[in-house]
């Protein structure tokens, strides 16, 4: 009757638990006690204890003198070999650094991940303005410069699927209306860059351009500036130059 296919969905419960546990380490709390972990994961304390012990032994976690668990160096080291680091970040860093030198502004590099903008890198100096983004952070697609680019270059069904869900409004200027957003995204694709004005943070805006590899948008580079300094033409030109450098570097690898 049923087409079966029993396995595949590996019922490796213990591993799933461990992954869930590691997932607790995030922006909100990177140093957790055993009880905190047990609460967050809804695992029995003793099971939690057993799992963390093994993770510590393997270097995936460390435990400080404060008895709190933190992400360990072994995990970090492995992550450095993720395509995200090894290919994208590595290829883009020099160009991003130059971009930062030239503009002195907040530079961000992001990819699409889990229906959000995943910030792969962020360069930010004293001169630039504070932002919410952080390397490793996930932000909405429709309220960030890089996010709008990433979304705009997706196939229509992905865009529609995104628009179908309710859209958050971090600021009064955030675009939450599907129709307005649809128009905005079309504009982004037509012009080849996105503009954001106080849609994520009041007082600041952003420009972003896609990094296109044979037609598909693999990432987006953006710059976040104080609204008053939002010189679109100049920034787009600078960003485009950086983007093409990055593309060249990516192809070389």
Partner DNA sequence: TACGAATCTTCCATTGGATGGAAGTGCAAG
Partner DNA sequence: CTTGCACTTCCATCCAATGGAAGATTCGTA
Q: Which parts of this chain interact with DNA (CB under 7 A)?
A: 4-8, 11-15, 17, 33-36, 43-47, 49-51, 67
* Residue (22 or 230) nearer to a second copy, CB: 22
Closest CA to 250 of 210, 223, 193: 210
Residue 115 contact partner, candidates DNA, a second copy, none, CB within 5 to 8 A by sort of partner:
none
Q: What is the dihedral of CA 175, 181, 186, 190, to 10 degrees?
A: 0
248 binds a second copy (CB under 8 A): no
CA distance 76 to 188: 36
Dump strand ranges (E) for 22-105.
61-63, 69-71
Closest CA to 182 of 198, 168, 208, 161: 161
Shortest CB 82 distance to DNA, Å: 19
Shortest CB 4 distance to DNA, Å: 4
> Of residues 73, 168, 171, 213, which one binds a second copy by CB under 8 A?
73
Shortest CB 8 distance to a second copy, Å: 6
190's enclosing H/E stretch is helix 178-191
123 binds a second copy (CB under 8 A): yes
Span of 11-19, 139-147, 187-195, 210-218 interacting with a second copy by CB under 8 A: 11-19
CA distances from residue 232 to 107, 149, 202, 206, 239 in whole angstroms, order as listed: 15, 15, 18, 9, 10
Span of 34-42, 124-132, 167-175, 222-230 interacting with a second copy by CB under 8 A: 124-132
Shortest CB 34 distance to DNA, Å: 4
Closest CA to 234 of 117, 104, 77: 104
Give burial (CB, 10 Å; 0-12/13-18/19+) of 194: buried
109 binds a second copy (CB under 8 A): no
Q: At what angle do helices 13-23 and 45-57 cross, to 10 degrees?
A: 80
Contact positions vs a second copy (CB under 8 A): 7-10, 12, 14-16, 18-20, 22-23, 25-27, 30, 50-51, 53-55, 57-60, 62, 70-86, 90, 93-94, 97, 100-101, 111, 113-114, 118, 123-126, 134-138
């Amino acid at each position: 009757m049923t087409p079966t296919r029993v396995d595949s969905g590996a019922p490796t419960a213990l591993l799933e638990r461990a992954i869930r546990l590691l997932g607790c380490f995030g922006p909100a709390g990177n140093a957790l006690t055993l009880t905190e972990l047990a609460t967050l994961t809804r695992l029995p304390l003793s099971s939690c204890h057993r799992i963390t012990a093994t993770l510590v032994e393997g270097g995936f976690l460390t435990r400080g003198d404060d008895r709190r668990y933190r992400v360990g160096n072994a995990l970090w080291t492995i992550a450095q070999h993720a395509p995200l680091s090894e290919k994208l970040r590595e290829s883009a860093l020099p160009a991003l650094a130059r971009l930062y030198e030239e503009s002195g502004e907040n530079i961000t590099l992001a990819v699409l991940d889990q229906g959000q903008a995943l910030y792969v890198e962020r360069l930010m100096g004293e001169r630039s303005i504070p932002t919410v983004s952080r390397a490793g952070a996930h932000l909405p697609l429709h309220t960030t410069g890089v996010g709008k680019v990433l979304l705009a270059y997706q196939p229509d069904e992905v865009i529609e699927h995104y628009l179908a869900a309710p859209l958050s409004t971090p600021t009064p200027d955030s675009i939450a209306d599907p129709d307005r957003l649809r128009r905005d995204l079309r504009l982004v694709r037509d012009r080849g860059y996105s503009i954001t004005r106080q849609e994520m943070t009041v007082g600041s805006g952003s420009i972003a351009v896609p990094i296109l590899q044979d037609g598909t948008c693999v990432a987006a580079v953006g710059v976040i500036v104080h609204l008053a300094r939002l010189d679109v033409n100049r920034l787009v030109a600078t960003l485009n130059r950086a983007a093409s450098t990055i593309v060249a570097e990516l192809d070389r690898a």
